[in-house]
Amino acid sequence: MTREQHVDTLSPGDPFRDWLVSVLDGRIRHADAPAEVYLIRPASHTVCRYAFRGEGVSVVSKFFAEPTGTNHRFDPEKAMETEYRMLKKARRRIAVPEPIAVRADYHCALVTGYVRGRPLLDFLRDDPSLFGRLTDVAGLLRRLHGRGVSAYDLEREFATFQGVLGQVDLSSGERDRFTRRLDRWQAAGTLERRRGCMIHRDATPSNYLFGEDGVVAVDFESAWTGAHPAHDPGILCAEIRYAFRRRYGDAGRAEPYLGHFLWHYAGSDDAFRYVTGCVPFFMALGYLRMARLSIGNHEKEWLKKEAFACLRHR
């Protein structure tokens, strides 16, 4: 669950606060309005919300040069520019936080509009109201994937899977069994297609927020172009099944909701058959992504078992 903690107040004369006022370009009516600073957790980098007192204006800044996780092997300035560009691209298709500005000398800061809402994660329970939420997310992803095609990079999809495998605690026998299954998928040609699309790529239930104006996708740090359209639905389906397992001890209770989500994402019988033929590959990837986390051995074993079961579809 995302939490905010008040950590500072920035007054006029503070360089970062004054820069924010300048990039907001007239939205701050009173030049002396202080900015209240709220640290947002958890996040992969330092992320803060800046709320200008008395203005009703908030922005969020992600500082790419201040990673909070284990991954420090990246170029923060390049990552900042990439997310800024991807947000601009996605904003032409779906609702995302407004990309406002970037600045490398402020710890590689990316400033976006603040989106008030509750994440899909809060609604993942066995309740009929979830169907409507998933319909909205399916529509958002279909719009993101459906416009503006690009060259498809099949090899990158398999290389990504192999990369995640290398980050999971696997015995040599387990690694060999997964590799053989991946070889079967590659030989079958199931994931081959002529064109790729833009994907969110971090399709976790925390990254889809529901507010007054509907659903908004956040965190495009990992977004890709030239990808397979089943990538995002597969990751999200794995996340939802695991959330149901944790809540109820029974991942199977998620199945009616997954079928509903995939049907509304596909939009036709032919597209549904195609998507459901590809989704197991990306669900396996989703399970293994979660298996990398610091969780108990019992949960890790369950995730590995589910991932391998998905790959048995080929």
Residue 136: predicted pLDDT: 98
Mean pLDDT of the residues in the chain? 95
Residue 297: predicted pLDDT: 93
* Residue 287 to residue 241: CA distance in whole angstroms: 9
Cα 24 to Cα 10, 18, 39, 98, distances in angstroms: 16, 10, 20, 11
Coil, strand, or helix at residue 231? helix
Residue 70: predicted pLDDT: 72
Residue among 161, 204, 168 at smallest CA distance from 43: 204
Least confident of 61-75, 101-115, 186-200, 246-260: 61-75
CB 184 within 8 A of CB 158: no
Burial grade of 98 (CB within 10 A; 0-12, 13-18, 19 or more): middle
Determine if the pTM surpasses 0.75: yes
274 pLDDT band, cuts 50/70/90, is very high
CB 308 within 8 A of CB 178: yes
Report pLDDT digits (tens) over 242-257. Answer: 999 999 999 999 999 9
Q: Mind listing the domains of the chain with CATH numbers?
A: 3-113 (3.30.200), 118-311 (3.90.1200.10)
Residue 114: predicted pLDDT: 97
Q: Say yes or no to pLDDT of 72 above 90.
A: no
Burial grade of 293 (CB within 10 A; 0-12, 13-18, 19 or more): exposed
Mean predicted confidence (pLDDT) in 221-241: 97
Q: Say yes or no to pLDDT of 294 above 90.
A: no
DSSP lists the bridge partners of residue 215 as 210
CB 215 within 8 A of CB 95: yes
Question: What is the four-CA torsion angle of 282, 284, 289, 292, rounded to 10 degrees?
Answer: -170
71 pLDDT band, cuts 50/70/90, is confident
* Residue 291 to residue 294: CA distance in whole angstroms: 8
Burial grade of 308 (CB within 10 A; 0-12, 13-18, 19 or more): middle
148 pLDDT band, cuts 50/70/90, is low
- Non-local (6+) Cβ contacts of 54 within 8 A are 30, 33
Mean predicted confidence (pLDDT) in 71-77: 86
* Residue 17 to residue 300: CA distance in whole angstroms: 44
* Residue 172 to residue 248: CA distance in whole angstroms: 33
- Non-local (6+) Cβ contacts of 75 within 8 A are none
Residue among 135, 111, 126 at smallest CA distance from 210: 135
